[in-house]
Structure 1
Amino acid sequence: MNNRVTMADVAASAGVSTMSVSYTYNQPSRVSAATRGRVHAAAATLGYAGPNRTARSLRSGRHNSIGVVLGEKLTYAFEDPQARRFLSGIAETCLDADTALMMLPNLHRDNDIARIRDAQVDGYVVWTTEIGDPLLDVLVDTGRPTCVQGGPRHPGLNWIAIDDRAAADAVATAASSGRSHPAIVALRPDTRRESTIVRGADASDISMPVTRARLEGYRDACVRLGIDWSTVPTLFTTNNARAEGNRAARVLLQDNMIDTLLVMSDELAFGVLDAVAASGIDVPTRLAVSGWDDSPAAAAAGLTTVAQSLFDQGRSAARWVLGLSDVVDDAIWSVEERISTGRANGPQTSTDVI
């Protein structure tokens, strides 16, 4: 015997049409407050929980859910400040569209790919991944709209990113002016997560598009400033964490000639500043440090940093995936140059350099 309460049962109990019950739950503005009240009262009496969303999604072909693919452990989404901003932008769009958000890790395991492919979502936003990641072809094959933040560009998928190469050139030029011995603290070059130091690093060997583009921009600036790129050390980190930035600075600053550290994230740069403060090196007189993302803490730290809105990138990507926009909005960046008075937390002035 099937005792499941149906929409028709609620309609009969409330003395309204089945369509009125449907509108009460799915388009409440189309029925009067009095009708909604009767429907909800009857539903409460009968124990009706609402329309069967699974059946409705099968009929409409929509799930009212968006998948966010992270090339990191899920904890990264809560620990990393930039990831939180990006996800907050997606979440705001989901809130506006009454859409759920599903987190999907992509650690390049077979079950990850199957889980992402089979997820009951209407489309995907991908946090940057490697060039040639097999998941990208899988996402194309699903036929669902997909937007990749930071790249790589891939046929059949949309993408959103700033011009990382131009931004890196600009911030390196600002930080290295009048200096001749830079070093780079780079985001990991691939999913192997091995920490290495390379002099004159070849960007074409790097599979992570954001790291590749930023390294190219740093090289452009060094060449234009007359700095021999083959002498410039790059330390590739294993993760984007403050402790990793601290470790990188302690390794690189064993070379007393280094007068500039170009760092690919503010979080890493804060770790660099921790190490520098512990060693008693004066910033910015003895050592210039640049970051990336213009996080709120960057101003207090006196960083020269690249300003980009990951919140806006997340929001724009999600809007496009959900069909709320025909195009992905341009991602804007600038260089925020803050000139410290010499005290780590002293007053600063701020100037925009575009």
Structure 2
Amino acid sequence: MVVGEHLSYLFDDPQAAQFLAGIAEVCVSEDLGMVLIPTRGDATDVDRVLSAAVDCYVLWTTVAGDPVLAAVAASGRPAAIQGGPAQPGLVCIAPDDRAAAAAVAAATPLAEAVPVIISFPLDRRRTSGVLRGDELPLDLTDLQAVPFPVTGARLAGYRDALTEAGHDWGDVRIAVVERNQRERGEDAAAALLETLEGSGPVVVLAMSDELALGARSALGGTRRKVTITGWDASREATTSGVWSVSASLREQGRACARAALSGALEGHQVPWSVVAPERRPDTGR
């Protein structure tokens, strides 16, 4: 497994652990082991990945243009990648993140509220901060220029739903976080709240349940009516009043492992659904 994150992230983040567990389940059933290979975005990545004594690869959380992608594709060893970026020679396993993001956003009272977004990183340097839609530091005509394809697809889906609801994308506030961590979501929500005027309702579109739960903690004391969305449909999020998207990362881990082991030539799209919260609060709490 080739991962563009610190190795500890695989065990600290609940959904990363689910993805890893899905791969492990297939390895156990096939009587195989697993090697974890981190990449850092430097000149040593390709040699580290290609020198590993492995039969196939599963890649996760990398960026468009990463030389590791082309190197793995040319290695002759079968490989699968979760979520992209698409690369000839690699099987891609992913849900339709754009459609799912649009659907979960549209499930909220967008037309009556001010929307804000808590986004995964937009670049490999993981620059954080609060931006407006028209200040995103890339040519985002269709939002495919974002190096992290999952981030780009979800931003595109949010934009689709927001413009459909009558919002000006250029005015939408977007807090970009460095890591997918609950405390980052809490800080981002607090920073976004400072940019808003008045006391009207707010919809927070967060790219994960961890970020959504952090936002919920930050906004619990506000007088505003707050609706929050996340991603991954964790039990904690849905029982805390968070709308979410279900697209099992454990199953995606299994699918990636099976595709890599079989030498499959074509990937498949992962089923997804919008999950309503079990408790729908009248306030942000």
CA contact (8 A) 2:9 2:16 kept: yes
The AA in structure 1 aligned to 2:48 is R
Equivalent position to 2:202, from 259, 265, 271: 259
Give the aligned residue type for 1:291.
G
1:325: how far off?
6.6
Q: Check the 8 A contact 1:171/1:290 in 2, yes or no.
A: yes
Is the CA contact 2:5–2:61 (under 8 Å) kept in the aligned structure 1? no
1:184-263 pair list within 5 angstroms: 184-200=117-133, 201=136, 202=140, 203-254=143-194, 255-257=196-198, 259-263=202-206
Q: How far off is 1:110 after superposition?
A: 2.4
Q: TM-score, normalised by structure 2?
A: 0.91
| Superposition map of 1:1-354 within 5 A | 68-200=1-133, 201=136, 202=140, 203-254=143-194, 255-257=196-198, 259-277=202-220, 279-281=221-223, 286-323=225-262, 328-338=267-277, 339-342=279-282
Q: CA RMSD in A?
A: 1.9
Runs of 4+ in 1 over 6 A off after TM superposition: none
Q: CA deviation at 1:293?
A: 0.8
Bigger relative contact order (CA 8 A; separation at least 6): 2
Could you tell me the percent identity over the aligned residues? 41
**SS in structure 1 of the partner of residue 230 of structure 2:** strand
Determine the C-alpha separation between the residues in 2 that align with 1:139 and 1:176: 44
Deviates more, 1:129-138 or 1:172-181: 172-181
TM-score by length of 1: 0.74
Find the residue that maps to 1:261 and give its secondary structure: strand
Compare CA radii of gyration and give the structure with the larger one: 1
Q: Offset at 1:180? A: 3.7
Q: Report the Cα offset of residue 235 of structure 1.
A: 1.1
Counterpart CA distance in 2 for 1:328 and 1:113 is 24
Q: Secondary structure at the match of 2:276?
A: strand
Instruction: Give 5+ residue unaligned stretches, structure 2.
Output: none
Cα pair distance change 1:273/1:300, threshold 3 Å: same
1:3 corresponds in structure 2 to none
The Cα shift of 1:300 comes to 1.7
Q: Give the whole-Å Cα distance in 1 for the aligned partners of 2:228 and 2:153.
A: 19
- Deviation of the 1:341 alpha carbon: 4.0
- Write the distance in 2 (CA, Å) between the matches of 1:75 and 1:69: 14
SS of alignment partner, residue 253 of structure 1: helix
After TM superposition, give the deviation of residue 327 of structure 1 in Å: 5.5
Give the direction of change, closer, same or farther, for the CA distance of 1:328–1:271 in structure 2 (3 Å limit).
same
Aligned equivalents of 1:212, 1:326: Cα separation in 2 = 25
User: Could you give the per-residue CA deviations for residues 57-116 of structure 1, whole angstroms, max 9, x where no partner exists?
Assistant: xxxxxxxxxxx0110110010001110000100000000000000000011122332111
- Compared CA separation, residues 327 and 205, structure 1 to 2 (3 A): closer
Deviations 1:94-140 (A, max 9, x none): 00000000000011122332111111101100013111111101101
Which protein has the bigger helix share?
Answer: 1
Q: Give distance in 2, aligned partners of 1:195 and 1:306.
A: 24
CA distance in 1, matches of 2:14, 2:250: 11
Equivalent residue letter for 1:306: V
Q: Distance in 2 between matches of 1:169 and 1:341?
A: 22
CA contact (8 A) 1:165 1:217 kept: yes
Tell me the amino acid that sits aligned with residue 130 of structure 1.
V
2:2/2:39 contact within 8 Å kept: yes
Letter of the aligned partner of 2:104 in structure 1?
Answer: V
Q: State the AA in 2 paired with 1:261.
A: V
Q: Does the CA-based 8 Å contact 2:246-2:272 persist in structure 1?
A: yes
* Conservation of the 8 A alpha-carbon contact between 1:182 and 1:260: yes
Aligned length: 274
Contact 1:93 1:319 in 2 (8 A): yes
Three-state SS of the structure 2 residue aligned to 1:109 is coil
Cα displacement string for residues 13-38 of structure 1 (whole angstroms, at most 9, x for unaligned residues): xxxxxxxxxxxxxxxxxxxxxxxxxx
1:165, distance to aligned residue in structure 2 (A): 0.3
2:238–2:244: 8 Å Cα contact kept in structure 1?
A: no
CA–CA separation in structure 2 for the residues paired with 1:316 and 1:204: 25
Check whether the contact 1:117–1:142 (CA below 8 A) recurs between aligned residues.
yes
